[in-house]
């Protein structure tokens, strides 16, 4: 019996331990947050409810002064008619297809049952990410059980993970699917990788950026699978929702992109630059820093610079890969950081993917340096530090700055390190940058 359990726990890089930990995490989180009203996920349910009631036109309503917060007036009426809280549902910003698929379920599932089911599924997904990240990286200098214990610890201390869980954020599902696609890519399963990344991109647009990893590898089968999956789901979405709804969704995304969102949950360098500029120039605050507010008076350079950084990251990935054949893991980590940092929004839960890919650091740096990054990340993104700094947010949004600074420093360090350090071939013929210090 002892030998049986040893094989179950340690086989395939300790998959058994990962499954046990994920199941325990699922049970704990589901019981802890049972009945909890997940505001972000409520937007998903409200969109399905609007379609079920024959009013799909209200799906993309927004609050004029909110964009990403506040409950639109017609959505308030919709929630009130269903006997649900009227002021806790933010605007819906996903493609119409998912709301249409959910619509029939709103007739048989109450919103709290829907939340509980999604919490169970997504908490399990989140707890499996340390293991999947380890399998993507395959670090020789890091033992699986050590990383799994560390990964489980980060689940409970990092605002990145806890914010995703507290909001029952669909980003968890998107990240999980994306990671499975990256894992398939490292295993040479091109079609599977393309399909999974295509599905993730159909849920949220951002994962489409990982198509670059398929392109630079000239993995035409994976690209074709991604294109067929993505375009197929888009066609179904257009069939359900029609072109006007999709154009409205794009308009909402453009509105968000035109604003600078001030929030303690936003780890955007754009917001940090905006706040630091105010401090240096002694500009008084024009909106409260204790909630979430969009501002439209940011100088053009503050909004342009992040976009240039994102474009630079894409060019860097292409150049470095062509010159050195860097690994999927390293490129995925850099790309995930670029998408999270420099996209239209940089909510804390968008960094679930970079955090899950942390084992890749052990293929880039020495173990000592890698552990320093892990410990620094655990501290600078910790709930304790964020909550303490939140008390200082009256005039300046200080609390997100340590987390933003950490991810930005890691991003820049990876760019520089992979370009200048010697390379060592990995088992699959790709090359990983490893420091001698």
429: left (phi over 0), alpha (psi -120 to 50) or beta: left
Residue 430: the pLDDT is 47
DSSP at 360:
G
Q: Are strands 293-295 and 260-262 parallel, antiparallel or unpaired?
A: antiparallel
Coil, strand or helix at 134: helix
311-317, Cβ contacts within 8 angstroms, sequence gap of 24 or more: 313/337, 313/338, 313/342, 313/411, 313/415, 314/209, 314/212, 314/338, 316/415, 316/419, 317/212, 317/213, 317/216
411-436 burial string, b = 16+ CB within 10 Å, else e?
Answer: beebbebbeebeeeebeeebbbbbee
Residue 296: the pLDDT is 76
Coil, strand or helix at 54: coil
**Burial grade of 209 (CB within 10 A; 0-12, 13-18, 19 or more):** buried
Residue 427: the pLDDT is 43
* Averaged pLDDT in 10-residue chunks for the chain of 437 residues: 60 79 89 86 92 90 74 88 85 91 92 92 94 93 90 90 90 96 94 96 92 92 95 92 90 83 88 88 72 79 90 88 83 94 90 94 93 94 90 84 94 86 49 43
Give the Cα separation of 411 and 370 in Å (integer): 14
424 beta partners: 432
* Domain coordinates in residue numbering, the chain: 2-433
Residues 6 or more apart from 143 whose CB is under 8 A from it? none
Residue 88: the pLDDT is 85
Q: Which residue in this structure is represented by tokens 């669909």?
A: 170
Give the Cα separation of 72 and 87 in Å (integer): 9
Q: Which residue in this structure is represented by tokens 């999709």?
A: 246
Q: Are strands 423-425 and 293-295 parallel, antiparallel or unpaired?
A: unpaired
Q: How many CA atoms lie within 13 A of 148 on its CB side?
A: 21
Residue 3: the pLDDT is 62
Residue 10: the pLDDT is 65
Contact 295, 319 (CB under 8 A): no
Residue 429: the pLDDT is 44
> What's the pLDDT tens digit per position in 275-303?
888 888 888 776 666 667 777 778 889 88
Contact 384, 348 (CB under 8 A): no
363-381 burial string, b = 16+ CB within 10 Å, else e?
Answer: bbbeeebbeebbeebbebb
Give the Cα separation of 244 and 246 in Å (integer): 5
Residue 294: the pLDDT is 78
Stated pTM of the model:
0.91
Give the Cα separation of 200 and 153 in Å (integer): 27
Coil, strand or helix at 326: strand
Q: Which residue in this structure is represented by tokens 């610079």?
A: 305
Coil, strand or helix at 88: coil
């Amino acid at each position: 019996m002892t030998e049986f359990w040893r094989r179950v726990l340690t086989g395939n890089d300790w998959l058994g331990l990962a499954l046990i930990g994920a199941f325990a995490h699922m049970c704990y989180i589901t019981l802890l947050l049972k009945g909890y009203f997940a505001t972000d996920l409520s937007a998903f349910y409200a969109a399905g409810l609007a379609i079920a009631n024959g009013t799909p036109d209200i799906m993309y309503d927004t609050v004029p002064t909110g964009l990403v917060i506040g409950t639109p007036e017609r959505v308030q009426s919709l929630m009130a008619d269903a006997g649900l809280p009227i002021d806790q549902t933010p605007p819906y910003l996903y493609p119409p297809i998912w709301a249409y698929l959910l619509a029939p379920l709103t007739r048989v599932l109450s919103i709290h049952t829907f939340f509980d089911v999604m919490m169970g599924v997504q908490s399990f997904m989140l707890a499996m990410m340390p293991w999947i990240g380890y399998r993507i990286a395959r670090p020789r200098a890091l033992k699986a059980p050590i990383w799994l214990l560390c990964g489980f610890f980060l689940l409970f201390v990092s605002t990145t993970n806890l914010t995703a869980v507290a909001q029952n954020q669909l980003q968890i599902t998107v990240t999980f699917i994306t990671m499975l696609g990256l894992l398939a890519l490292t295993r040479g399963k091109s079609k599977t990788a393309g399909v999974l990344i295509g599905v993730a991109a159909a849920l949220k647009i951002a994962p489409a950026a990982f198509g670059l990893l398929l392109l630079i590898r000239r993995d035409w089968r994976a690209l074709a699978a991604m294109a067929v999956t993505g375009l197929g789901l888009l066609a179904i979405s257009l069939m359900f929702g029609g072109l006007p709804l999709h154009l409205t969704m794009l308009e909402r995304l453009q509105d968000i992109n035109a604003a600078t969102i001030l929030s303690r949950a936003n780890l955007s360098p754009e917001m940090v630059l905006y706040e630091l500029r105010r401090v240096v120039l002694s500009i008084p605050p024009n909106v409260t820093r204790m909630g979430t507010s969009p501002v439209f008076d940011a100088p053009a350079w503050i909004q342009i610079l992040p976009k240039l950084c994102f474009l630079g990251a894409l060019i860097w990935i292409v150049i470095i890969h062509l010159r050195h054949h860097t690994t999927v893991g390293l490129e995925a980590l850099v790309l995930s950081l670029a998408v999270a940092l420099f996209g239209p929004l940089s909510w804390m839960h968008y960094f679930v993917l970079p955090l899950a890919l942390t084992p890749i650091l052990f293929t880039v740096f020495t173990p000592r340096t890698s552990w320093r990054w892990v410990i620094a990340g655990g501290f600078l993104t910790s709930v304790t530090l964020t909550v303490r700094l939140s008390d200082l947010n009256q005039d300046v949004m200080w609390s997100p700055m340590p987390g933003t600074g950490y991810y930005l420093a890691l991003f820049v360090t990876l760019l520089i390190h992979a370009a200048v350090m010697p390379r060592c071939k990995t088992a699959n013929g790709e090359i990983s940058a490893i420091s001698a210090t």
